[in-house]
């Protein structure tokens, strides 16, 4: 609550003055924007008209590609589509091989847990070799996928 002493002070005049100044500035900005829009519209209407027959660009840029260029563009599109299809297949194979790697690693851990610490069976060594071989294949497939981009 404001005391009656504060209400009678000359500082209460600052608030309404400030609001009035903000209103004046606001309408000034609105008016200047309208003037600018009108000026731009007038300039655009009185500007040079480009005839549809005559282009502002070089004829080299606006002429359609010849048959050879069209054929090259189609070949590039087919190559890109083939690459994308092969990439999708590689990703599917990587996912499948990764799942197989996980399965083999779990099996290897179970077999290692069954043996004692001093003896490794031939099956454990073969399974480890299979895991290593599969891991290299997955790594090579990943390089193919990333390397072609």
**Which of 85, 130, 88, 84 is closest to 107 using CA atoms?**
130
Q: Is residue 92 assigned to a domain? A: yes
Instruction: State the pLDDT at residue 99.
Output: 95
Q: Is residue 79 assigned to a domain? A: no
Mean pLDDT of 4-23: 64
Q: Which domain holds residue 128?
A: 85-149
Look at residue 149 and tell me whether its pLDDT is greater than 50: no
Q: Is residue 17 assigned to a domain? A: no
Beta-carbon neighbour count of residue 77 at 10 Å? 10
Tokens 């009656």 locate to 4
Instruction: State the pLDDT at residue 24.
Output: 85
Instruction: State the pLDDT at residue 74.
Output: 93
Q: How many domains does the chain have?
A: 1
Look at residue 97 and tell me whether its pLDDT is greater than 60: yes
Q: Is residue 107 assigned to a domain? A: yes
Q: Which residue has the higher pLDDT, 45 or 140?
A: 140
**Which of 119, 140, 141, 121 is closest to 129 using CA atoms?**
121
Look at residue 108 and tell me whether its pLDDT is greater than 80: yes
Instruction: State the pLDDT at residue 5.
Output: 46
Look at residue 10 and tell me whether its pLDDT is greater than 60: no
Q: Is residue 142 assigned to a domain? A: yes
| Per-residue pLDDT tens digits for 44-90 | 665 555 555 666 777 777 788 888 888 999 999 999 988 888 888 88
**Which uninterrupted H or E stretch holds 7?**
helix 4-7
The rounded distance, in Å, linking the Cα atoms of 83 and 147 is 12
| Per-residue pLDDT tens digits for 15-53 | 777 788 888 888 888 878 778 877 777 666 655 555 556
Instruction: State the pLDDT at residue 83.
Output: 87
């Amino acid at each position: 609550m404001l005391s009656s002493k504060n209400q009678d002070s000359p500082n209460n005049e600052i608030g309404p003055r400030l609001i009035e100044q903000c209103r004046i500035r606001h309408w000034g900005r609105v008016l200047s924007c309208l003037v600018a829009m009108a000026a731009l519209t007038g300039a655009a209407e009185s500007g040079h008209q480009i005839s549809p027959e005559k282009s502002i660009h070089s004829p080299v840029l606006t002429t359609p590609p010849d048959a050879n260029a069209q054929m090259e563009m189609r070949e590039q599109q087919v190559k890109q589509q083939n690459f994308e299809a092969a990439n999708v297949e590689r990703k599917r194979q990587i996912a499948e091989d990764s799942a197989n790697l996980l399965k083999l690693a779990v099996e290897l851990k179970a077999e290692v847990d069954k043996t004692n610490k001093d003896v490794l069976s031939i099956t454990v060594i073969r399974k480890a070799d299979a895991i290593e071989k599969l891991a290299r294949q997955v790594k090579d497939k990943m390089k193919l996928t990333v390397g072609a981009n």
